[in-house]
């Protein structure tokens, strides 16, 4: 009993630490958005959150935690396609000038994603099974494009840039059995850090070269708060074959931004809030 209480206390502390780091991160973002994206704080926050998730997973995976009915774990291999929504119209302020208006022409793009996870058998209840784990995804680069109104008057330039996401989630999965022993409805929910990277900002002239490109921004990496939810259908074939699942996932991925190339630019280009909707198939091993 004492050992079980120790495990539960350690897991609780790990969960509290995760929420503490997220709270500090969001508070800093409200006070000074640029401070959250600085390299060192981003890496430190990501490390603390990932370390707490790893601690929780280690405790849950420990064989001694038999009173929690945790018997074995399974690897998740995931692949699918996603559609991203991102980009934000905004004014960029420039010292001594009126500034430029960045319009968004196309905020939707699609690409492939890959995922890897580890799921531990958890609580087996009367109406459903509740399992826990960790799940990481790689969402390949997607593009945002638009036009630039220089001095808020003349649409002389067009631009585009790319965004990549690497979210890591503490995952909870519920499985609801159906009338068929081989089929189950699954529900997924997760929260964790998203390692976001903006890159390849590029602008070009729309008036035959009369207006020179600015290329005023550089990509950057930052850590944002991310959440994921989904529903799927799991098929468990006869003995000797791996379970197979396909379903829908929704990702909240936070907001990214860029570094300005010069201190004449008073604010920076932002991606706006990033979302993604995905169709994913999973093999459990």
| Residue 208 or 54, more confident | 208
- pLDDT score of 102 more than 90: yes
Beta-bridged to residue 163, according to DSSP, are 142, 198
pLDDT category at 80 given cuts 50, 70, 90 is very high
**What is the rounded CA–CA span in Å between residue 243 and residue 240?**
10
| Residue 152 or 5, more confident | 152
- pLDDT score of 159 more than 50: yes
pLDDT average, residue stretch 213-234: 93
**What is the rounded CA–CA span in Å between residue 57 and residue 189?**
16
pLDDT average, residue stretch 123-148: 89
- Closest to 100 measured CA to CA, from 264, 278, 275, 281: 264
Q: What does the block give as tokens for 94?
A: 């420039």
Rg (CA), the chain: 22
* Percent of the chain residues topping a pLDDT of 70: 74
SS3 content of the chain, % helix, strand, coil (to 5): 20, 55, 25
- pLDDT digit string (tens) for 230-252? 999 999 887 767 889 999 999 99
Q: Report the chain's mean pLDDT, rounded to a whole number.
A: 82
- pLDDT score of 23 more than 80: no
Q: What is the pLDDT of residue 210?
A: 86
- pLDDT score of 70 more than 80: no
Q: What does the block give as tokens for 83?
A: 């559609």
Q: What is the pLDDT of residue 139?
A: 97
- Closest to 163 measured CA to CA, from 145, 180, 186, 178: 145
Which string of DSSP letters, residue by residue, matches 89-133?
A: -EEE-BTTS--EEEEEEE-EEEEEEEEEEEEEEEEE-SS-EEEEE
Q: What does the block give as tokens for 116?
A: 């890897």
CB-CB contact of 61 with 70 (8 Å): yes
Q: What is the pLDDT of residue 7?
A: 54
- pLDDT score of 63 more than 80: no
Q: Indicate yes or no: pTM above 0.85.
A: no
pLDDT category at 147 given cuts 50, 70, 90 is very high
**What is the rounded CA–CA span in Å between residue 65 and residue 62?**
6
Domains along the sequence of the chain with CATH: 72-284 (2.40.160.20)
């Amino acid at each position: 009993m004492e050992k079980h209480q120790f495990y539960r206390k350690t897991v609780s502390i790990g969960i509290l630490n995760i929420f503490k780091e997220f709270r500090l991160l969001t508070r800093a973002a409200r006070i000074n958005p640029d401070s959250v994206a600085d390299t060192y704080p981003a890496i430190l926050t990501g490390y603390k959150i990932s370390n707490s998730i790893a601690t929780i997973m280690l405790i849950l995976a420990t064989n001694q935690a038999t009173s929690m009915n945790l018997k074995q774990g399974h690897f998740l291999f995931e692949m699918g396609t996603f559609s991203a929504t991102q980009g934000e119209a905004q004014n960029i302020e420039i010292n001594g000038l009126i500034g430029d208006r960045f319009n968004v022409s196309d905020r939707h793009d699609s690409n492939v994603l890959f995922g890897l996870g580890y799921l531990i058998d958890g609580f087996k209840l009367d109406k459903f099974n509740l399992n826990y784990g960790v799940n990481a995804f790689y969402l390949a680069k997607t593009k945002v494009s638009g036009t630039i109104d220089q001095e808020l008057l003349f649409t002389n330039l067009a631009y585009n840039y790319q965004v990549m996401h690497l979210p890591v989630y503490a995952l909870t999965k519920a499985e609801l059995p159906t009338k068929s022993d081989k089929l189950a409805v699954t529900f997924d929910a997760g929260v964790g850090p998203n390692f976001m990277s903006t890159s390849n900002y590029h602008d070009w002239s729309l008036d035959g070269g009369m207006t020179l490109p600015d290329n005023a921004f550089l990509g950057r990496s930052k850590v944002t708060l991310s959440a994921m939810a989904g529903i799927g259908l799991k098929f468990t074939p006869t003995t000797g074959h791996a379970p197979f699942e396909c379903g829908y996932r929704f990702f909240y991925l936070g907001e990214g931004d860029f570094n300005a190339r010069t201190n004449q630019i008073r604010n920076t280009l932002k991606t706006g809030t990033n979302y993604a909707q995905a169709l994913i198939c999973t093999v459990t091993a």
